[in-house]
């Protein structure tokens, strides 16, 4: 019994590991056929479905010394659910692939599955995990594909913003960046390696900011709310408010002008901080954005520039190849 309790994925093998993970998950309301065959079958009453994918790799995307397995599962779900929500769709299902070193304890994958399940239950009730894959790798790698139902609505694209539209945001602004800065500053040893004990202390002292980075709670349900309220454009803010706003500006052929007084005590961190996974949306002129959206600026004539108080601003934020150029200090 003790051996099974502390077994690694290499010791148990794929079938036994799946037998430990799958009972911890549910398939969700849209699954006509869930895990067990070569592929799942999902109901798509709308005749269309939204699909997105995201990759998380140990090192550049997360540190096991900082994140618990539960955190990883939660974040893997949350980061994909908001991409579905940003299209104005209701999330229905996830497909999850894991590549792990053979020495990885099975308990790590079980904790990951628990995080997936609980994130889905809180952020996207009715959605579930319908399949995936396991493989071996030198570093833990997580790939998630998410599906969503438009429920008869047109998708909300990045290209629909028009001059005069109200610019609004739902979710935290800069909290994840502040949490990451704390972890780098206070939970990294002299050699630059993450320190698990220090990370636990930082988590205790700054629970909201650290949780915003390691296990974010984005406003997933706000995507459908925005779509039904007539949002003209929308996206998931994962790389930083300014950098992601640039994507709407360029796709729509307009400028987005942020009001610094509406961005909080530190507008720079609000604009540059990444990984909050809030939703940035444009609504028709004269619209009062629905809760939980808050007005943060407006859409103006232009050709793809982000402005703050009318002045062109740098699109600071996160880039997977060059890193973060707007770190909270």
pLDDT of 281: 98
**Domain span holding position 110:** 2-149
**Which residues lie below 8 Å from residue 261, measured CB to CB, with a gap of 6+?**
none
Contact 146, 55 (CB under 8 A): no
Query: Is 238 annotated as a binding-site member?
Result: yes
Confidence of residue 327 (pLDDT cuts 50, 70, 90): very low
**Residue 142 CB contacts under 8 Å (≥ 6 apart), including other chains:** 55, 56, 57, 72, 76, 96, 97, 98, 112
Ligand-binding annotation for 319, yes or no, is no
Q: Is 57 left (phi over 0), alpha (psi -120 to 50) or beta?
A: beta
| pLDDT at res. 14 | 81
Task: Write the CATH number for 246.
Answer: 3.90.650.10
Query: Quick one: average pLDDT of 163-185?
Result: 96
Maximum C-alpha span of the chain: 68
Q: Tell whether 209 is covered by a domain.
A: no
What confidence score (pLDDT) does residue 329 get? 34
Are residues 145 and 167 both part of a single domain? no
Residue 83: exposed, middle, or buried by beta-carbon count in 10 A (0-12, 13-18, 19+)? buried
Per-residue pLDDT averaged across 138-157, rounded? 96
Give the integer Cα–Cα distance in Å for 154 and 159: 13
What pLDDT shows up at residue 197?
Answer: 96
Task: Tell me: is residue 10 an annotated ligand-binding position.
Answer: no
What is residue 1's predicted lDDT score, i.e. its pLDDT? 40
Average pLDDT over residues 279-295: 97
Looking at the fold, whether 170 and 94 belong to one and the same domain comes out as no
Q: What percent of the chain has pLDDT over 90?
A: 79
Note whether 162 and 297 are same-domain residues. yes
Query: 25: which 2 tokens?
Result: 């998950």
Is 66 labelled as part of a ligand binding site?
no
Residue 197 domain flag: no
According to the annotation, is 104 in a ligand binding site? no
Is the pLDDT score of 163 beyond 80?
A: yes
Split into its structural domains, the chain has a count of: 2
pTM above 0.75, yes or no: yes
What pLDDT score was predicted for residue 2? 45
46 known ligand binder? no
Residues 83 and 231 in one domain: no
Q: What is the CATH number of the domain that holds 89?
A: 3.30.1330.10
Mean pLDDT of all residues in 233-262: 96
Give the per-residue pLDDT at 323.
60
* Average pLDDT of the chain to the nearest whole number: 93
Pair 120, 174 in one domain:
no
pLDDT confidence of 42, banded at 50, 70, 90?
confident
* Residue 227 near residue 290 (C-beta atoms within 8 A): no
List beta partners, residue 257.
298, 307
Q: What confidence tens digit (pLDDT) does each residue in 57-116 have? A: 999 899 999 999 999 999 999 999 999 999 999 999 999 999 999 999 999 999 999 999
Same domain, yes or no, for 264 and 144? no
Residue 116 counted as domain residue: yes
Q: Is the pLDDT of residue 328 over 90?
A: no
**Which range (42-46, 113-117, 127-131) has the least confidence?**
42-46
* Annotated binding-site residue? 244: no
Count CA atoms within 13 Å of residue 127 on its CB side: 31
Q: Would 184 be classed as within a structural domain? A: no
The answer on whether 195 is annotated among ligand-binding residues is no
Residues 167 and 103 in one domain: no
Gyration radius from the chain CA atoms: 20
The annotation status of 14 as a binding-site residue, yes or no, is no
- Mark which of 149, 169, 194 sits at the end of a domain: 149
Q: Nearest CA to 81 among 43, 40, 122?
A: 122
Give yes or no: residues 105 and 26 share one domain: yes
Are residue 171 and residue 112 in the same domain, yes or no?
no
> How far apart are alpha carbons 225 and 110 in whole angstroms?
33
Residue 191 lies in a domain: no
245 within 8 A of 306, measured Cβ to Cβ: yes
61 is in an annotated binding site: yes
Residues 169, 98 share a domain: no
In a domain, 208, yes or no: no
* Confidence (pLDDT) at 39: 81
pLDDT category of residue 322 using cuts at 50, 70 and 90: low
pLDDT in tens, 229-242: 999 999 999 999 99
Q: Is 236 annotated as a binding-site member?
A: yes
d(C-alpha 219, C-alpha 276), whole Å: 10
Mean pLDDT of 32-51: 87
Give a yes or no: residue 188 inside a domain. Answer: no
Which stretches within 14-103 are classed as H helix?
14-21, 69-85
Please tell me the distance from the alpha carbon of residue 261 to that of residue 321, in angstroms, as a whole number.
32
Residue 21 sits in the same domain as residue 125: yes
Task: Flag whether 200 is in a domain.
Answer: no
CA 64 to CA 71: how far, in whole Å?
A: 10
Pick the last residue of a domain from 149, 168, 188.
Answer: 149
The residue from 93, 128, 149 where one domain ends is: 149
Q: Give Cβ neighbours of residue 184 (< 8 Å, ≥ 6 apart).
A: none
Q: What is the pLDDT of residue 324?
A: 56
In terms of domains, do 110 and 35 share one? yes
Six token digits for residue 70: 């539960």
């Amino acid at each position: 019994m003790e051996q099974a309790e502390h077994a690694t994925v290499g010791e148990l093998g794929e079938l036994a590991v799946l037998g430990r993970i799958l009972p911890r998950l549910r398939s969700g309301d849209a699954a006509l056929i869930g895990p067990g065959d070569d592929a799942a079958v999902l109901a798509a009453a709308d005749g269309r479905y939204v699909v997105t994918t995201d990759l998380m790799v140990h090192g550049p995307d997360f540190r096991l010394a900082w994140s618990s397995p539960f955190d990883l599962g939660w974040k893997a779900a949350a980061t994909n659910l908001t991409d579905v929500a940003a299209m104005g769709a209701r999330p229905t299902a996830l497909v999850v692939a894991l590549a792990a070193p053979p020495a990885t304890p099975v308990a790590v994958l079980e904790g990951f599955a628990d995080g997936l399940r609980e994130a889905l239950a809180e952020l996207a009730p009715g959605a579930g995990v319908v399949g995936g894959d396991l493989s071996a790798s030198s570093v833990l790698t997580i790939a998630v594909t998410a599906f969503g139902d438009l429920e008869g609505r047109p998708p909300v694209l990045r290209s629909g913003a028009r001059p005069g539209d109200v610019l609004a945001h739902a979710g935290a602004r800069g909290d994840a960046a502040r949490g990451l800065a704390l972890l780098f500053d206070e939970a990294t040893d002299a050699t630059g390696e993450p320190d698990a004990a220090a990370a636990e202390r930082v988590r205790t002292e700054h629970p909201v900011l650290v949780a915003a980075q390691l296990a974010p709670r984005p406003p997933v349900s706000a995507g459908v709310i925005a779509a039904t309220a007539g949002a003209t454009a929308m996206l998931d803010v994962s790389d930083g408010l300014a950098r992601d706003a640039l994507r709407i500006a360029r796709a729509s052929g307009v400028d987005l002008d942020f009001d610094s007084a509406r961005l909080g005590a530190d507008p720079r961190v609000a604009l540059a901080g990444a990984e909050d996974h809030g939703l940035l949306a444009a609504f028709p002129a004269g619209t009062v954005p629905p809760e939980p959206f808050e007005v943060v600026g407006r859409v103006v004539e232009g050709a793809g520039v982000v402005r703050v108080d009318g002045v062109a601003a740098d699109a600071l934020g996160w880039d997977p190849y060059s890193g973060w150029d707007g770190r909270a200090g």
